Amino acid sequence: LRPPRPRRPLRLLRPPRLRPPRLLRPRPRRPPRASRPDAGPSAFDGGGGAIKSAPAVHL
């Protein structure tokens, strides 16, 4: 008895266009920090909340 064939060929035959557009499209921009009460003067990236407490490696 042979082991069942792996189903990899089905993945290769599937066109990449069927991927959800969320993976290729960036996240929708949040409103500016002027309308975000949790974004203080220390939020240089214009974000707030978890983004403010994260290390600023992107600056």
| pLDDT tens by residue, 2-31 | 777 666 655 555 565 655 555 555 666 665
Question: What is the pLDDT at residue 14?
Answer: 57
Short-list 50, 57, 54, CA closest to 30: 50
Report the alpha-carbon distance of residue 59 to residue 46 in Å, rounded.
12
43 and 33 Cβ atoms separated by less than 8 Å: yes
Backbone phi, then psi, for 24, in 5-degree steps?
A: -95, -25
- For position 20, what pLDDT does the model report? 59
pLDDT grade, residue 52 (50/70/90)? low
